[in-house]
Amino acid sequence: MSKKNILPEGTRDLVLDECIVKRALERDIDKLFEKWGYKEVITPTLEFYETFNHNSQTLREEDMYKFFDNRGRILILRPDMTIPIARVVETKLKDVELPIKLRYTSNVFRVHESLGGKRNEYTDCGVEFIGLEDKKSDLEVLVLALEALKKLGLNDFKLEIGNIGFFNGAFKNLEIDEEYKEIIAKFIEDKNLKSLEDYLANLDIKEEYRIFFNKLPWLFGSKQVLEDAKKLAFNDDIKETLEYLEKLYIELEALGYGENVTFDLGMIPRLNYYTGIIFRGYGEGVGNTLLRGGRYDNLIHFSKSSVPAIGFSIDIDSVIPNVKFNNSSEEVYKIYYSQKDRIEAIKKSQELRNQGYIVDLFTKDDIEEIKIVKGGGF
């Protein structure tokens, strides 16, 4: 096959009904966010590498598409939308009264390992709620995430909730190098149980810490997980985190979402700007995580003060194969005409389009008069 017909790894073409489904999903989700009061923001596809690398260390350098501008500065294709929005808030919106609610629909780019089956370009629809602390905004964003999952039309979906404070709270009085902490976090997130057990066995820490970290990968599932975790809680920070998650569940259950909520206390995302609750959305038939979000209270700064924030995004492309396109013939007309009637045919098509219908025009040399067919062929 000629190279001109080969796509870069991790990319794909969307054609015909796939495009219709994607645009419909984007419109539905965007409209939902708009109805909740979130204003749209559009940022450039290109960002300076420094924007993503400055202090936060949120993504590995090798995960980004990088190149140079005409001045030799390093540019990247945005691998994430939270950081560009943080940049916008700190510059363009620094004088706007808080809270600020923003929404977006944007393509993002990540370099994944070869042959891993993951896409390197995908479309995120998301929101960011900026300016209010956890107790004043977490519930709203979780409800909006659940409503967004419902809007995707999946037969069954779950929102899995964790809290980075559960993991971080265990280190409050534990003197350990950051490098060791990161290794423990990776083993827990990957649920690599044997490696975690072996690694902890070689660390000079108290037995209660070993028990806690070894149990952490198993703490996922229904609300019962919170009760099980209470038995392992050995300081006030961990207990407060569990109490907060329990309160959120009670509120979500009261709102009718109890069956759609689960927990994973071993959820430790690689993006290290999260400071509170973290959550992921899953749907029946969708192999990958289709929604990701969390609280990040130390990413946005006004002067010397940090601004609390929380948000999430939906990977629209991951849902497309699971959505059946309903190509209703009631909304489509076909007009067949000969060359002598082309002016009249175009006029009739315009009349139908003004009524909200889709109209296709077809020339046929062997017909005497214009034929208008609703939905079907001729």
Q: Is the CB of residue 37 less than 8 Å from the CB of residue 99?
A: no
Query: Which pair of tokens denotes residue 132?
Result: 């209010």
Residue 308 falls within a domain, yes or no?
A: no
| Mean pLDDT, range 209-235, rounded to an integer | 92
User: Which pLDDT score is estimated for 275?
Assistant: 92
Whether residue 271 is found in the same domain as residue 171: yes
Residue 28 falls within a domain, yes or no?
A: yes
User: Which pLDDT score is estimated for 234?
Assistant: 87
Q: Which of 124, 155, 186 is the last residue of a domain?
A: 155
User: Which pLDDT score is estimated for 2?
Assistant: 60
353 annotated to a ligand binding site: no
Residue 292 falls within a domain, yes or no?
A: no
282 annotated to a ligand binding site: no
User: Which pLDDT score is estimated for 228?
Assistant: 92
pLDDT tens-digit profile of 326-372?
655 568 899 999 999 999 999 999 999 999 999 999 999 889 899 99
Whether residue 123 is found in the same domain as residue 163: no
Residue 304 falls within a domain, yes or no?
A: no
Residue 137 falls within a domain, yes or no?
A: yes
User: Which pLDDT score is estimated for 322?
Assistant: 82
Residue 52 falls within a domain, yes or no?
A: yes
Residue 318 falls within a domain, yes or no?
A: no
Q: Is the CB of residue 125 less than 8 Å from the CB of residue 29?
A: yes
User: Which pLDDT score is estimated for 294?
Assistant: 96
Whether residue 181 is found in the same domain as residue 267: yes
Distance CA 183, CA 185 (A): 5
> What pTM value is reported for the model?
0.90
| Mean pLDDT, range 243-266, rounded to an integer | 96
C-alpha distances in Å from residue 281, one per residue of 234, 250, 263 = 30, 19, 11
User: Which pLDDT score is estimated for 340?
Assistant: 93
Those residues with Cβ within 8 angstroms of residue 61's Cβ, 6 or more apart along the chain or in another chain? 53
Peptide bond into 99 cis (omega under 30): yes
Whether residue 129 is found in the same domain as residue 179: no
Q: Is the pLDDT of residue 96 over 80?
A: yes
User: Which pLDDT score is estimated for 57?
Assistant: 53
268 pLDDT band (50/70/90 cuts)? confident
Whether residue 50 is found in the same domain as residue 115: yes
271 pLDDT band (50/70/90 cuts)? low
273 annotated to a ligand binding site: yes
Structural domain total, the chain: 3
Query: Which pair of tokens denotes residue 40?
Result: 């749209």
Q: Is the pLDDT of residue 45 over 80?
A: yes
User: Which pLDDT score is estimated for 182?
Assistant: 86
Q: Which of 252, 283, 314 is the last residue of a domain?
A: 283
Partnered with residue 283 across adjacent β-strands are: 157
Q: Is the pLDDT of residue 91 over 70?
A: yes
Whether residue 131 is found in the same domain as residue 195: no
Q: Is the dihedral of CA 179, 185, 186, 192 positive or negative?
A: positive
Whether residue 257 is found in the same domain as residue 363: no
Q: Which of 283, 311, 337 is the last residue of a domain?
A: 283
Whether residue 177 is found in the same domain as residue 50: no
Whether residue 354 is found in the same domain as residue 245: no
Q: Is the pLDDT of residue 1 over 70?
A: no
DSSP 3-state of 297: coil
Residue 250 falls within a domain, yes or no?
A: yes
Look up the CATH number of the domain holding residue 169: 3.30.930.10
User: Which pLDDT score is estimated for 25?
Assistant: 94
User: Which pLDDT score is estimated for 68?
Assistant: 93
15 pLDDT band (50/70/90 cuts)? confident
Q: Is the pLDDT of residue 325 over 70?
A: no
Which structural domain range is residue 181 located in? 157-283
Whether residue 271 is found in the same domain as residue 361: no
Those residues with Cβ within 8 angstroms of residue 18's Cβ, 6 or more apart along the chain or in another chain? 320
Rounded percentage of the chain residues whose pLDDT exceeds 90 = 63
pLDDT tens-digit profile of 108-166?
998 876 555 678 898 999 999 999 999 999 999 999 999 999 999 887 899 999 999 88
82 annotated to a ligand binding site: yes
User: Which pLDDT score is estimated for 273?
Assistant: 81
- Find the radius of gyration of the CA atoms of the chain: 25
Whether residue 42 is found in the same domain as residue 148: yes
Give pairs for 221-224: CB < 8 Å, separation 24+. 221/262, 221/263, 222/262, 222/263, 223/249, 223/261, 223/263
| Mean pLDDT, range 82-96, rounded to an integer | 94
∠ CA(82), CA(83), CA(88), 5° rounding?
95
Compute the mean pLDDT over every residue in the chain, rounded to the nearest whole number.
90
User: Which pLDDT score is estimated for 189?
Assistant: 87
- What is the β-pairing status of strands 332-337 and 371-374? antiparallel
58 annotated to a ligand binding site: no
Whether residue 358 is found in the same domain as residue 269: no
Rounded percentage of the chain residues whose pLDDT exceeds 70 = 94
